Amino acid sequence: MSAAITTTPTHPTLLPITAVILAGGQNRRMHGQIKMRLPLGKSTVLQMLCECLSQQTHTLVLSFNGRASKSEKEQLTVLPDPPHYQGLGPLAGIVSTLSWMQLEQPSHQWLLSVPGDTPFIPHDLANTLYKSAQRTHMEHLLYYTQCQKRGHYLTGLWNIRALPILKKYIDDGQRSVKGLLKLLHAQAVTFTGSTISARPEDTFLNINTPEDYQLAQKLLQPEP
């Protein structure tokens, strides 16, 4: 299904969480362009996500359906996912990363997932979701983001205990993230501020189409 790129930042206040950037889609509506590599401002979507997440979490992994570039291979460790998960969508990337985390980061109980086409995620994303988990005594297996009453199910915090449930869900032929919410006793966590504009919803903007990409570029332009 995908490959995983991992690096371990060193920051004294990082949470004991693994973060995964989900970039395993087919990019059909972007005419085959790999969305995470799209230039954005003076950076790329992937670089923006890495910069943001590396300041929040202990370990960063990239789930990617394709070959890592030469520079990515030189800078980062590439971990291929099991072949039996190929083409099964973003949930397979989460299962692969949770399985990897269980072996390589056994002290981590939580996985933060972020789509690879959302460059403007909050700088307090991990902390806000983790605090919600603490307040509820870790009783939910998924804490997902919500903004303007819209759920962003793939931007969320998954407990390692969700792994067997996810595996069975996929093995049973299920693919819908929304369908998982009840099984995982999922909890929505509302975000109201914005990192990029006056509209809170722009914080979770997905670059799915060329029009979305144009909007993302516009949001980075300074006000006249």
Q: How do residues 129-171 score in pLDDT, each as one tens digit?
A: 999 999 999 999 999 999 988 999 999 999 999 999 999 999 9
Start-to-end C-alpha separation, the chain: 44
Whether residue 161 is contained in a domain is answered as: yes
Cβ pair 177, 198 in contact under 8 A: no
Distances (CA, A) of 74 to 6, 45, 67, 68, 118: 12, 19, 13, 10, 25
Total-model pTM: 0.91
Closest CA to 177 of 82, 90, 113, 117: 90
pLDDT tens figures, 76-87: 556 667 788 888
Give the residue-averaged pLDDT of 217-222: 86
| Strand 77-80 relative to strand 110-115, pairing | unpaired
Q: Structural domain tally of the chain?
A: 1
Spatial distance between the Cα atoms of 53 and 110, rounded to a whole number of angstroms: 14
The length of the chain in residues reads 224
pLDDT single digits (tens) 4-37: 544 444 444 688 999 999 986 666 667 778 899 9
Mean pLDDT comparison of 91-95, 130-134, 217-221, highest-scoring range: 130-134
Q: Are 180 and 163 in contact (CB under 8 A)?
A: no
166: CB partners within 8 A, 6+ apart: 91, 94, 95, 98, 180
Give the span between the Cα atoms of 75 and 174, in whole angstroms. 35
Q: pLDDT band for position 185 (50/70/90)? A: very high
Structural domain includes residue 59: yes
CATH number of the domain where residue 184 is located? 3.90.550.10
Is 8 part of a structural domain of the chain? yes
Task: Look at residue 224 and tell me if it is in a domain.
Answer: no
Residue 37 lies in a domain: yes
Provide the residue range defining the domain that includes 56. 3-219
Q: Is residue 11 part of a domain?
A: yes
